[in-house]
């Protein structure tokens, strides 16, 4: 290549003076790009550093630093008295990385694997919260009730006293926390377990993904409540399972339907204490029938007890796990609904024979959940803050539940019929008149309120047997009274066409 042409290439190298990135890093990147895209070919001799300085009006040290970095990475060869050359080991044709912001251009990325495509497709069905809190957002606890000052103090205390626990720790989780959870779950939910059966996870969503991956082979069938929690059907589908929708009625999952139409299922996902989204509780005969089916067919039952702490009338219901005598129930719990979602702490209680496999799976997935939040939570429980927070939040939720129920009866009794409202963070309401769920939901957003259609929770492959009357799921726990009243007024105007 003529020297004049090489000088033109060098003079055109892009440098932004005054940028936060040092000039030598910019020069390094520019020369590297010129080598990779063929403007500077293998074996080409570069000008002496003094000439390079003159062409670009930069200091000699800038050029020396860039040359040194390029030589260390194998792009340049050089020796004193011989000159600096583009390495002959650099291939003539090297793909250049896509510019920032262009990675989604068609054809640039290799296709995802079949499993990867399944993960993406499955999670597209899951709703994510966006924007400021407003009536009637579902699945949100009352965060402003949480004693963050206490939590900050407990975490700060742990940070001030680092010990061996700050290295890699047990994939199963912080042992004192598992011991405390064991006592709590036995007293509050009747769960029978030892600390060795508990695995701490990064939220219940990780637990559901782990269980779907470990317990099911691609093509295995799994029962899924319909309507049901999309955050559970997503991991099942991502694992390659054939999700079989089973209808839900006033007694919970229709076990007889599942046995009649898909007896070969290897797993059933259930929310027996407070069905998501209909709010019903599974009757004792149904629970016993489900356990009998699982024991006979050597199937797994995943019990998601996602908001069991919030029951507003009557004694707390015992868990399905407390009735298990055959080691088929995996109990999944979350602390997102009790403390705050950003904490990302959950847990599994596995049958003894399964626990070690889940610990190993946890180690493969992310080694272990962050240790300091686990330590802080253990202190939070041990010092009594956890119990006080649950009692205070339960009372607050009950007040807001009462406001919503009264408001629906007063403002919208001619339009909506309430479903069960004795527990949880939301309640379902069925249309008395003919309304299209999606149309109402979109109109609600235009009026500044969130209205989750019950149809959102229906399995897209479910047949008429799983049909649910049209309605809405309305969250109340996180909604301040004034916002609740505003939401009720807007919902009334919307349904009456005003």
In a domain, 402, yes or no: yes
In a domain, 337, yes or no: yes
What confidence score (pLDDT) does residue 98 get?
47
Compare 163 and 480 and report the one with higher pLDDT. 480
The average pLDDT across 196-205 equals 93
What is the tally of structural domains in the chain? 3
Q: Token match 């596995």: residue? A: 350
- Positive or negative: CA dihedral 256, 261, 264, 267: negative
In a domain, 451, yes or no: yes
The average pLDDT across 318-345 equals 90
Res 482 pLDDT > 60? yes
Residue 30 shares a structural domain with residue 72: yes
| 133 touches 478 (CB < 8 A) | yes
Q: pLDDT grade, residue 382 (50/70/90)? A: very high
What confidence score (pLDDT) does residue 164 get?
66
In a domain, 422, yes or no: yes
In a domain, 105, yes or no: no
Total residue length of the chain: 498
In a domain, 141, yes or no: no
Which of 257, 250, 301 is CA-nearest to residue 275?
250
What confidence score (pLDDT) does residue 108 get?
45
Say what percent of the chain tops pLDDT 70.
Answer: 92
Residue 363 shares a structural domain with residue 315: yes
The average pLDDT across 384-410 equals 93
Residue 166 shares a structural domain with residue 230: yes
Res 125 pLDDT > 60? no
Residue 408 shares a structural domain with residue 301: no
**CA distance readout (Å), 45 to 49, 193, 488, 491:** 12, 72, 76, 75
366, 387, 408 - which closes a domain: 387
Res 100 pLDDT > 70? no
343, 368, 387 - which closes a domain: 387
Per residue, the 3-state secondary structure of the chain, as one string, reads CCHHHHHHHHHCCCCCCCCCCCHHHHHHHHHHHHHHCCCCCCCCEECCHHHHHHHHCCCHHHHHHHHHHHHHCCCEEEECCCEEEECCCCCCCCCCCCCCCCCCCCCCCCCCCHHHHHHHHHHCCCCCCCCCCCCCCCCCCCHHHCCHHHHHHHHHHHHHCCCHHHCCCCCCCCHHHHHHHHHHHHHHHCCCCCHHHEEEECCHHHHHHHHHHHHCCCCCEEEEEECCCHHHHHHHHHCCCEEEEEEEECCEECHHHHHHHCCCCCEEEECCCCCCCCCCCCCHHHHHHHHHHHHHHCCEEEEECCCCCCECCCCCCCCCHHHCCCCCEEEEEECCCCCCHHHCCEEEECCHHHHHHHHHHHHHHHCCCCHHHHHHHHHHHHCCHHHHHHHHHHHHHHHHHHHHHHHHHHHCCCCEEECCCCECCEEEEEECCCCCHHHHHHHHHHCCCCCEEHHHHCCCCCCHHHCCCCEEEEECCCCCHHHHHHHHHHHHHHHCCC
| 210 touches 431 (CB < 8 A) | no
Domain of residue 327, residue span: 115-126+147-387
What confidence score (pLDDT) does residue 495 get?
92
What distance in Å separates the CA atoms of residue 332 and residue 208, rounded to the nearest whole number?
Answer: 8
Per the rule left: phi > 0, alpha: psi between -120 and 50, beta: everything else, 19 is beta
Residue 441 shares a structural domain with residue 376: no
What confidence score (pLDDT) does residue 10 get?
82
**Most distant CA pair in the chain: distance in Å?**
94
Residue 53 shares a structural domain with residue 178: no
The residues near 161 (Cβ < 8 Å, ≥ 6 apart) are none
What distance in Å separates the CA atoms of residue 3 and residue 8, rounded to the nearest whole number?
Answer: 9
Residue 295 shares a structural domain with residue 191: yes
Residue 434 shares a structural domain with residue 301: no
Q: pLDDT grade, residue 122 (50/70/90)? A: low
What distance in Å separates the CA atoms of residue 161 and residue 32, rounded to the nearest whole number?
Answer: 47
In a domain, 107, yes or no: no
Residue 273 shares a structural domain with residue 160: yes
Q: pLDDT grade, residue 106 (50/70/90)? A: low
What CATH number is attached to the domain comprising 380?
A: 3.40.640.10
Res 126 pLDDT > 60? no
**CA distance readout (Å), 310 to 164, 196, 267, 395, 399:** 37, 27, 27, 9, 12
User: Which strands form 76-79's sheet, in the order they lie side by side?
Assistant: 45-46, 83-86, 76-79
In a domain, 137, yes or no: no
Residue 346 shares a structural domain with residue 405: no
Residue 323 shares a structural domain with residue 204: yes
Residue 394 shares a structural domain with residue 478: yes
Which of 203, 201, 229, 224 is CA-nearest to residue 350?
201
Compare 355 and 169 and report the one with higher pLDDT. 355
| 83 touches 73 (CB < 8 A) | no
What CATH number is attached to the domain comprising 58?
A: 1.10.10.10
């Amino acid at each position: 290549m003529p020297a004049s042409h090489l000088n033109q290439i060098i003079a055109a190298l892009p440098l932004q003076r005054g940028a936060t990135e040092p000039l030598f890093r910019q020069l390094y990147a520019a020369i590297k790009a010129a080598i990779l895209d063929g403007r500077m070919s293998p074996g080409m001799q570069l000008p002496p550093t003094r000439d390079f300085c003159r062409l670009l009006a930069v200091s000699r040290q800038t050029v020396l630093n860039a040359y040194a970095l390029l030589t260390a990475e194998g792009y340049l060869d050089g020796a004193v008295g011989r000159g600096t050359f583009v390495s002959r080991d650099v291939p003539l044709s090297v793909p250049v990385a896509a510019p920032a912001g262009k990675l989604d251009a068609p054809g640039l990325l290799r296709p995802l694997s079949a499993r990867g495509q399944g993960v993406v497709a499955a999670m597209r069905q899951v709703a994510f919260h966006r924007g400021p809190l407003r009536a009637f957002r579902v699945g949100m606890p009352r965060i402003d009730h949480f004693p963050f000052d206490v939590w900050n103090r407990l975490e700060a205390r742990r940070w001030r006293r680092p010990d061996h626990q700050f290295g890699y720790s047990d994939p199963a989780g912080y042992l004192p926390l598992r011991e405390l959870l064991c006592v709590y779950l036995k007293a509050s939910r009747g769960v029978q377990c030892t600390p060795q059966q508990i695995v701490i996870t990064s939220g219940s969503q990780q637990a559901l993904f782990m269980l779907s991956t470990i317990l099911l082979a691609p093509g295995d069938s799994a029962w899924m409540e319909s309507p049901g929690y999309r955050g559970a059907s997503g991991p099942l589908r991502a694992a390659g399972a054939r999700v079989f929708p089973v209808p839900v009625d006033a007694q919970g999952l229709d076990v007889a339907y599942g046995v009649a139409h898909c007896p070969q299922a290897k797993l059933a996902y259930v929310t027996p204490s407070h069905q998501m989204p209909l709010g019903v509780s599974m009757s004792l005969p149904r629970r016993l029938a489900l356990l009998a089916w699982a024991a006979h067919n050597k199937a797994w039952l995943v019990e998601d007890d996602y908001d069991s702490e919030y029951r507003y009338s009557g004694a707390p219901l015992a868990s399905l796990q407390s009735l298990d005598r055959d080691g088929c129930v995996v109990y999944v719990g979350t602390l997102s609904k009790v403390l705050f979602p950003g904490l990302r702490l959950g847990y599994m209680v596995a049958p003894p024979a399964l626990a070690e496999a889940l610990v190993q799976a946890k180690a493969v997935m992310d080694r272990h959940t962050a240790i300091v939040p686990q330590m802080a939570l253990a202190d939070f429980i041990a010092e009594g803050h956890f119990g006080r927070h649950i009692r205070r939040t339960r009372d607050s939720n009950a007040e807001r539940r009462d406001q919503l129920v009264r408001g629906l009866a007063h403002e919208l009794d001619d339009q909506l019929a309430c479903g069960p409202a004795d527990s949880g963070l939301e309640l379902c309401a069925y249309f008395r008149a003919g309304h299209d769920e999606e149309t109402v939901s979109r109109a609600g957003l235009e009026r500044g309120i969130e209205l989750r259609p019950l149809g959102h929770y229906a399995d897209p492959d479910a047949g008429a047997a799983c049909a649910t009357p049209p309605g809405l799921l309305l969250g109340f726990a996180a909604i301040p009274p004034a916002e609740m009243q505003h939401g009720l007024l807007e919902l009334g105007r919307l349904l009456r066409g005003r």
